[in-house]
């Protein structure tokens, strides 16, 4: 399972992700903490009009991780997604994705992002292999990925 | 603290305008100054993102000079999409404190000449960087709020559509509105999805426009009775609830405390319905309706011009339009016109009005109370 970098307030114990230098509740420096990469969907949407630098349809969810921190993440679709549903979080190049992604999806996602192609492929395979051996079980709530049906939602160019 | 009064209020029509930001602001400001019949001794200027939209900075001096008021001390105020209300608050503070006696507050925005994806990107800079890096725009966050509220059963998609239908019906009677046409429930419910479950007709348009208010220490009969600000985390993921806005609740509490009366005295309201479901949430967050009762009021037609509590007689952001920094002031202009019998074609009977303005994704909200004192 992925771990996600967060931070904890030494005073009030609040955990946020990504890590913040100062607790948003009061001016106290936070300390780093690692959070398990799964959580409950709090809400989600699909943008059919995406801002500059993104391609629609853009699927975005806010997920509450164990311990209470919430993160934003992308997915390939939101069909069958429900508020309160448990999803796995995967990090690809520092970007969070919810639910599971097929190997082909991951390869295409890596391929489309900036950087050396062979390195991307290696990373994609590594990520797929890691998923395969990590003991992660698809709990049946995640629909199978539809290869090639939807486009990579991430930016096509850096802003 | 001195009482603060409204001497004059004016605005341009909202919509796709060919005039420059400077001319829109001048049109509103000069009309307000003529009506006020007082020379301002301070100027408060606001535009949310003039650097990005029109390439202008140092706005207080720029607009001050354009208006022939460079000799008057000026400052610029900005709190994202509630900047107009924040500017009014600055004006209120300048007079209440005794620093100045007559303050011209003017706000405007010019953005229809910029492409929609670009406007969307500029406006989305008011959002937390982590959330924004996932492509979260204002409609995206509003869509998430709406979905969470739908899941909790706070309202239905039909209720969201009813808000848009009502506000368009009001806008159709307002010559200053961006959209001056009615829409049907079917049209709203079948308009294209923008940020599921939000559809095009639930969302306010991108508008140009300006509005101005002249405040004074001289009693004019029209009192700026109360103003309150409420704030919240920039990141919506830090908040304990997605389906109510602490910033609105705190702003309303502060405004009513200052005014010395409660929500029961409010007879007309201008609500920040940038997205139709926000009107329903705000009606309860401001205390105008007890929790769980706003949807029934919408279904019963209580919020129409003929209803018990007319809400958004101007058409709201949904139909009058949303010219960012002009909006918070345009809401107060509408209240002034309603309280003084000048809201031609959409006049309601009221002596106390409430305006509610949301900055960013409810990070910096304002509630303003205007009272006609006999």
Strands (E), B238-301: 268-270
ipTM reported for the complex, 2 dp: 0.91
CB atoms within 10 A of CB B113: 13
Answer yes or no: are the C-beta atoms of B263 and B347 closer than 8 Å.
no
Rounded to a whole number, what is the distance in Å from the CA of B33 to chain A's nearest CA?
39
Closest by CA to B312, choosing from B261, B278, B287, B360, is: B278
Q: Is the predicted pLDDT of residue A100 greater than 80, yes or no? A: no
Q: Is the predicted pLDDT of residue A109 greater than 70, yes or no? A: no
Look at the block and give the residue holding tokens 């409010």: B266
Mean pLDDT of B328-340: 98
Lowest mean pLDDT, pick from A3-12, A115-124, B169-178: A115-124
Answer yes or no: are the C-beta atoms of A102 and A145 closer than 8 Å.
yes
Answer yes or no: are the C-beta atoms of B152 and B243 closer than 8 Å.
yes
User: What is the Cα A70 distance to its own chain's centre?
Assistant: 11
Task: Please indicate whether, in this complex, the C-beta atoms of B238 and A60 are within 8 angstroms of each other.
Answer: no
A104 touches chain B (CB under 8 A): no
Q: What is the pTM of this model?
A: 0.89
Instruction: Output the six-digit token pair for A131.
Output: 């998923």
Closest by CA to B39, choosing from B60, B81, B3, B68, is: B68
Closest by CA to B120, choosing from B61, B203, B232, B197, is: B203
Q: Which residue has the higher pLDDT, A109 or B288?
A: B288
Q: Residues B339-373: pLDDT tens digits?
A: 999 999 999 999 999 999 999 999 999 999 999 99
Answer yes or no: are the C-beta atoms of B224 and B335 closer than 8 Å.
no
Handedness of CA B12, B18, B20, B23 (dihedral sign): negative
Q: Residues B294-311: pLDDT tens digits?
A: 999 999 999 999 999 999
Strands across the sheet containing A3-8: A15-16, A3-8, A31-36
Q: For position A11, what pLDDT does the model report?
A: 97
Q: For position A95, what pLDDT does the model report?
A: 92
- Residues of chain B neighbouring A74 (CB-CB closer than 8 A): 134-135
Which of B132, B146, B237 is the best mutation test for A, with the most CBs of A within 10 A?
B237
Q: Which residue of A has its CA nearest to B199?
A: A48
Rounded to a whole number, what is the distance in Å from the CA of A117 to chain B's nearest CA?
23
Q: For position A121, what pLDDT does the model report?
A: 59
Q: Residues B33-58: pLDDT tens digits?
A: 999 999 999 999 999 999 999 999 99
Task: Please indicate whether, in this complex, the C-beta atoms of B121 and A53 are within 8 angstroms of each other.
Answer: yes
Q: Which residues of A86-114 are buried (b: 16+ CB within 10 A; e: fewer)?
A: ebbbbebeeebbbbbbebebbbbbbeebe
Distances (CA, A) of A105 to A71, A132, B3, B163, B358: 22, 15, 64, 41, 39
Q: For position A156, what pLDDT does the model report?
A: 41
A51 touches chain B (CB under 8 A): yes
- Classify residue B65 by burial, with Cβ atoms within 10 Å: 0-12, 13-18, 19+: middle
A49 touches chain B (CB under 8 A): yes
Distance between CA atoms of residues B316 and A1, nearest Å = 48
Q: What percent of chain A has pLDDT over 90?
A: 45
User: What is the Cα B148 distance to its own chain's centre?
Assistant: 24
Pairs of CB atoms within 8 A across A/B: 92
């Amino acid at each position: 399972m992925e771990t996600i970098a967060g931070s904890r307030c030494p005073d009030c114990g609040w955990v946020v992700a990504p890590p913040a230098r100062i607790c948003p509740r009061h001016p106290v420096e936070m300390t780093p903490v690692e959070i398990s990469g799964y959580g409950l969907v709090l809400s989600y949407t699909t943008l059919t009009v995406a801002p500059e630098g993104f391609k629609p349809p853009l699927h975005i969810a806010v997920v509450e991780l164990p311990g209470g921190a919430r993160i934003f993440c992308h997915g390939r679709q939101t069909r069958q997604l429900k508020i309160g549903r448990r999803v796995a979080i995967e990090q690809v190049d520092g970007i969070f994705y919810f639910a599971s992604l097929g190997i082909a999806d991951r390869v295409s996602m890596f391929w489309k992002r900036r950087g050396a192609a062979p390195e991307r492929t290696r990373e994609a395979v590594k990520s797929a292999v890691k998923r395969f051996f990590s003991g992660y079980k698809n709990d049946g709530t995640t629909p199978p990925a539809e290869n090639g049906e939807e486009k990579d939602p991430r930016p096509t160019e850096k802003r | 603290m001195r009482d603060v009064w409204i001497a004059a209020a004016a605005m341009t029509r909202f919509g796709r305008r060919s005039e420059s930001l400077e001319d829109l602001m001048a049109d509103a400001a000069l009309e307000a100054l003529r009506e006020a019949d007082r020379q301002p001794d301070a100027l408060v200027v606001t535009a949310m993102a003039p650097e990005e939209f029109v390439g202008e900075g140092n706005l207080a001096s720029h607009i001050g000079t354009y208006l022939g008021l460079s000799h008057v001390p000026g400052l610029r105020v900005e709190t994202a999409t509630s900047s107009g209300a924040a500017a009014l608050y600055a004006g209120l503070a300048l007079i209440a404190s005794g620093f100045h006696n007559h303050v011209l507050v003017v706000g405007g925005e010019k953005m229809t000449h910029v492409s929609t994806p670009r406007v969307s990107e500029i406006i989305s800079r008011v959002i937390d960087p982590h959330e924004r890096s996932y492509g979260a725009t204002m409609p995206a966050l509003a869509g998430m709020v709406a979905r969470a509220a739908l899941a909790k059963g706070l309202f239905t998609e039909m209720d969201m559509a009813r808000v848009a239908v009502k506000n368009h019906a009001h806008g159709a009677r307002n010559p200053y509105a961006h959209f001056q046409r009615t829409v049907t429930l079917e049209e709203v419910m079948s308009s294209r999805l923008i940020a599921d479950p939000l559809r095009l007709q639930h969302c306010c348009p991108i508008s140009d426009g300006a509005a101005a208010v002249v405040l004074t220490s001289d009693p004019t009969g029209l009192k700026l009775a109360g103003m309150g600000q409420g704030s919240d985390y920039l990141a919506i993921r830090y908040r304990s609830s997605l389906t109510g806005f602490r910033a609105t609740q705190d702003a309303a509490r502060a405004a009513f405390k200052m005014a010395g009366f409660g929500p029961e005295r409010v007879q007309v309201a201008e609500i920040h319905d940038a997205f139709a479901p926000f009107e329903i949430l705000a009606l309860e967050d401001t205390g105008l309706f007890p929790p769980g009762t706003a949807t029934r009021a919408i279904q019963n037609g209580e919020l129409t011009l003929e209803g018990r509590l007319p809400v958004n007689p101007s058409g709201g952001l949904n139909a009058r339009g949303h010219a960012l920094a002009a909006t918070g002031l345009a809401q107060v202009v509408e209240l002034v016109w309603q309280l003084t019998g000048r809201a031609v074609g959409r006049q309601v009977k009221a002596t106390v009005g409430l305006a509610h303005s949301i900055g960013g994704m409810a990070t910096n909200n304002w509630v303003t109370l205007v009272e006609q004192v006999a």
